[in-house]
A = this chain, B = another copy of it.
Amino acid sequence: MMTDKFVFKFAPDDSEGNASMKELLGGKGANLAEMCGLGIPVPSGFTISTQVCTHYYKNDDTYPAGLEANVEEAIAFVEKKMGADFGSNENPLLLSVRSGARVSMPGMMDTVLNLGLNDEAVEGLAKQTGDKRFAYDAYRRFVQMYGDVVMMVRAETETDHDPFEIELDKMKKARGIETDVELGWEDLKELVATFKKIVSDKAGREFPNNPKEQLWGAIGAVFGSWMNERAVVYRKMNGFSDDWGTAVNVQAMVYGNMGTDCATGVGFTRDAATGENRPNGEFLINAQGEDVVAGIRTGLQLTLNDSLKWAKDSDISEEVRKDKFPSLEEYMPEAFAQLMAIYKNLENHYRDMQDVEFTIQRHKLYMLQTRSGKRTGFAAARIAVDMVDEKIITPQEALLRVEPDHLEHLLKPIFNVDSKKKALNDGRLLTRGLPAGPGAATGRIAFSAGKAATMSVDGMGDVLLVRHETSPEDIKGMKVSKGILTARGGMTSHAAVVARQMGKVCIVGCSTVEIDYKASEMVINGKTFKEGDWLSLDGFAGQVIAGKVETMPSDVQRGLDEGLDPNANDDIYYHYSKLMEWSDEFKRLDVRTNADEPGMALQARKFGAVGIGLCRTEHMFFGGVRIKAIREMILADNVEEREKALAKLLPMQREDFYGIFKAMDGYPVTVRTLDPPLHEFLPHEEEQVAEMAEEMGVPVSKVLHKVRQLSESNPMLGHRGCRLGNVYPEITVMQARAIMEAAVKATKEGFKVFPEIMVPLVGHVNELKRQREIIVNTVEEVLKESGTQLKYMVGTMIELPRAALTADQIATEAEFFSFGTNDLTQTTYGLSRDDAGSFLPFYEENNIFPNDPFQSLDRDGVGQLVKIAAEKARSVKEGMKLGICGEHGGDPSSIEFCHMVGLNYVSCSPPRVPVARLAAAQAALREQKQ
């Protein structure tokens, strides 16, 4: 809605805007107005609203009638507040002109500082400040900036040099000096003249001396920059609308570089790394804001405490510190006290940790910016919980303040800080890759799954598996390794997905890693490593480090492992526990885990999983004796031989399930019957085929024949899932028997067992009907044999579009559904996860796909199927139990969607369980808000 008010003035205690007006005033303008409303010292100014920008573009780059008068009035307001006159030569008011959209678009649009200077006013400024060099330096900077931004005098091609910088360099050469600071005020004055000449030559018109003309030029440039190419591209990439427009913030200049009674700094109201309630920040004496950010000079600490600690860490004596590196608390105690009061004020007001910028001009403190501060996962958790304890926010608000993904960081083993620092200082950082699995791992290099297995039991230390990429045959090797490093693959490659599910540290797509399997060595950036050499992986940062780095379990993990009382200490374990407690209070979704061995199950329970949503049975088949038995089954020529081979697997599977049922005492366990195509259990390379033939005592030709017979053009769409169990019902019989015999055994020992048997890859109700008959017959047989009564369920995965579309038919044969959104995404998109690497990165970069559909559930397509299926299923079975067990079950946005469509639970890998609990709570809270 267009209003007549285009300009919003602000000054302490006299402000026309506030923080809620971000759409109209932009983020920066709204927060400046808000601070003024709180009576906080802010250089006065005004904001030209985004409506003017919109008008500008809709009306051939013209301003709405009345804008000029509004701006005049606002300048008069600023002049009055600041006690200076815009355009005056004696007491000039200088202005900054900055963009400010409703969302931050860092560096995309233009800024002009020191506006209002000309040959006369510069002298007034010099007189006022008593610093001629300062005044001419400001003037020189202004002409350069304005010439570039407004008059578009700049390097013409990317390889050209900036015309102003060329002159600056010339002058320094002529003077025989190296840095700008060495130039005197006369030099700068000369440069101003030279710059102006460049401008008039290149722009074809004179540099404007009239401050008003300067101002309108700058306003026009800021509006113009809204549509510059990089801004347009940036918005397109982020899905921001061109119609939003930018505001223009015109504000009185203040200076931290007018002398030693000036300073400028940035700070956080609490510790952004740890979350401790510890105001902090850095500042520089006699400096400009950009100097702090650029880090050219050593930043000083705001508080005495920090200063002492910093000095101690840096081995600096107390004398030197006090003299050369004083804290603000010591150097300007009044300004410090005022700043601390403002910190408190802002935090109480915004009810969140703030990230601020300030300038002290001749002992007078000005706040230039405030916004919610970015923080680590650790800090987010602590701050949120602390603020509840401090009664600043409610538990609901606290839950919404923490990014769910961050919780996973709290659980990961960490490097000993000193040990890692030493490694980096020693130059042992080798390369970086994609951080696919967070945490820290150190161990000896193994280049094959087999080798990893051997090394893992030799008692000589942990193992890291290093491969070009991984495949299902590597799983046993991944299991025994602390971390996985691959040269190829993306965040959703086999290695990444399996590692995350296993909670392993993992770095993938590390293209500088060159492995020579034959020689059992690898080269990274010229350094050679042999099998058995030590390596360290920082899965948080994607860093690969040579040699050992000490690791330790995270505090939260230790608390959970040792069953400590979370309320005993005010540490991260306490904060984590509080967040989890509140999450459970508000969430509607249950959170289960995907686990296929007792260890994983126990770990997940510690993290709060209330069941297993997906226990894959095929991972269990990759052991030595087991793989032999399953291969015997595959080579079998008839049912009898197949049953004989399966009979060998039965006791092993039974023990697997027994262990899992015990671990999940009291909670449901969903076991999926065999899913992958049988050829995954066979070797594919000649040498391995020969090995297998020898081991099995059959001719090589027989193995080769079977490999060829089973090979498929598109295994993903081939003979797998329930298609196996239907063609070879004896497999399903064996598995159903193993599950129920285990359940009976555990029940008899007093455990509470709730088996849910799940049939994969159903596309037609008849497929499930047959499998269900087989399962129910077998289960009833086992129960009869054992004389036990036991509740169990039979259900199916919904992982094919057809299953979703005919969910009402399929529901008649199922007691529960679990959405397998990995496969559902692959089939809905017609996109193989294994092959997407050739174009998915291109698609993401070019914004063809808004995001990787394997990471975040595609609501428009895949989500629509989930919704259709849920509605159809419940139309025939009211209240039917529905869950999700794809990778998406651990992704917050996907979890929100699951909440919205009314699923009963999500299931994810153990380390994602806390993430999912929080995400589920957030989904519920957001729904309440609406």
B-contacting residues of A (Cβ < 8 Å)?
A: 710, 712-719, 723, 726-727, 761, 763-764, 766-767, 770, 799-802, 805-806, 809, 823, 826-832, 834-836, 838-839, 842-843, 846-849, 858, 860-862, 864-865
Which listed residue, B719, B848, B862, touches A835 by the CB 8 Å rule?
B719
Known contacts A714-B715, A848-B770: does B827 contact A726 (CB below 8 Å)? no
Q: How far is the CA of A899 from the CA of B270 in the complex (A)?
A: 68
Establish whether residues A763 and B830, one from each chain, have CB atoms under 8 Å apart when the complex forms. Answer: yes
Specify the chain B residue showing the minimal Cβ separation from A823.
B830
Answer whether A861 and B714 are a contact pair too, CB < 8 Å, given A727-B842, A800-B830, A830-B800. no
Nearest Cβ on chain B to A48's Cβ, whole angstroms: 35
Q: Is the CB of A713 within 8 A of B835?
A: yes
Contact indicator B717/A806 (Cβ below 8 Å): no
A522 to B781, CA, bound (A): 52
Interface residue from B714, B726, B827, B836 paired with A848 (Cβ < 8 Å)? B726
Across the interface, do B719 and A839 meet the contact criterion of CB distance under 8 Å?
yes
Let me know if B842 and A726 touch, CB within 8 A: yes
B802 close to A717 (CB less than 8 A)? no
Q: Are A716 and B713 in contact (CB under 8 A)?
A: yes
List the B side residues contacting A826 at CB < 8 Å: 717
Residues of B within 8 A of A714 (CB): 714-717, 832, 834-835
The 9 A-B residue pairs with the shortest CB-CB distance in the complex, in nearest-first order: A717-B832, A802-B861, A714-B832, A718-B835, A801-B801, A713-B834, A800-B830, A719-B838, A712-B835
- How close is A801's CB to chain B, nearest CB, in angstroms? 4
Whole-angstrom distance between the Cβ of A651 and the nearest chain B Cβ? 29
Q: Which residues of the other chain, B, contact A860 by a CB distance below 8 angstroms?
A: 802, 805-806, 809
Knowing A802-B862, A828-B805, A843-B726, the reply to whether A849 touches B764 (Cβ < 8 A) is yes
Q: Within the complex, what minimum Cβ distance (angstroms) separates A436 from chain B?
A: 19
Cα of A865 to Cα of B801 in the assembled complex, Å: 9
With A764-B849, A860-B805 as given contacts, are A715 and B835 in contact (CB-CB < 8 Å)?
A: yes
A569 to B706 Cα, complex, angstroms: 60
A717 contact set on B, CB distance < 8 A: 714, 716-717, 826-827, 830-832, 835
**22 pairs, CB–CB < 8 Å, chain A vs chain B:** A713-B715, A715-B835, A716-B717, A717-B826, A726-B843, A726-B846, A761-B830, A763-B828, A763-B829, A763-B831, A763-B861, A764-B848, A766-B848, A800-B829, A801-B865, A802-B858, A805-B828, A805-B860, A806-B864, A823-B830, A827-B827, A827-B830
CA distance A865 to B764 in the complex (A): 15
**Interchain CA distance A710-B835 in the complex, whole Å:** 9
In the docked arrangement, what's the CA distance between A716 and B832, Å? Answer: 8
Residues of chain B within 8 A of A715, CB atoms compared: 713-714, 835
A831 to B719, CA, bound (A): 9
**CB closest residue in chain B, given A716:** B714
Considering only CB atoms, which chain B residue lies closest to A861 in the complex?
Answer: B802
Which chain B residue lies CB-closest to A471? B713
Cβ-defined partner of A805 (8 Å) among B710, B716, B865: B865
Please give, as numbers and ranges, the residues of chain B lying within 8 Å of A800 by CB-CB distance. 828-830
- Inter-chain CA distance A865–B843, complex, in Å, is 25
Given pairs A714-B714, A714-B717, A716-B832, 5 additional interface contacts (CB within 8 A): A715-B835, A723-B839, A726-B842, A766-B849, A770-B848
- List B contacts of A802 (CB < 8 A): 828-830, 858, 860-862
Q: In the assembled complex, which residues on chain B have CB atoms less than 8 Å from the CB atom of A861?
A: 763-764, 801-802, 805-806
Measured CB to CB, the nearest residue on chain B to A799 is B830
A767 touches B805 (CB 8 A): no
Q: Which of B710, B712, B801, B842 contacts A832 (CB 8 A)?
A: B712
A856 nearest CB across to chain B (Å):
14
Note all chain B residues with C-beta closer than 8 A to A770.
846, 848
Taking a contact as CB atoms under 8 Å apart, the answer to whether A718 and B838 are in contact is: yes
| Most chain B CB inside 10 Å of its own CB: which residue of A764, A801, A862 | A801
Q: Which of A710, A718, A834, A860: most chain B CB closer than 10 A?
A: A718
Query: In chain B, what residue has the closest Cβ to A717?
Result: B832
Q: Are B839 and A727 in contact (CB under 8 A)?
A: yes
Closest Cβ of chain B: how far from A723's Cβ, in Å?
5
CB-CB under 8 A for A805 and B864, given A713-B835, A726-B848, A763-B830: yes
Bound: A763/B843 CA distance, A? 12
| A807 CA / B374 CA spacing, docked (Å) | 40
Residues of B within 8 A of A716 (CB): 713-714, 717, 830, 832
Give Cα A829 to B727, complex, Å.
17
- List chain B residues, Cβ under 8 A from A718: 832, 835-836, 838
**Bound complex: CA of A744 vs CA of B712, how far in Å?**
44
The residue on B at minimum CB distance from A842 is: B727
CB-CB under 8 A from A839, the residues of chain B are 719, 723, 726-727
Q: Whole-angstrom distance between the alpha carbons of A129 and B827 in the complex?
A: 75
Chain B hits for A865, CB < 8 A? 801, 805
Q: A849 — which chain B residues lie within 8 A by C-beta?
A: 764, 766
Cα distance, A506 to B858, chains bound together (Å): 43
Alpha-carbon distance A65/B767, docked complex (angstroms): 44
With CB as the reference atom, state the residue of chain B lying closest to A763.
B829
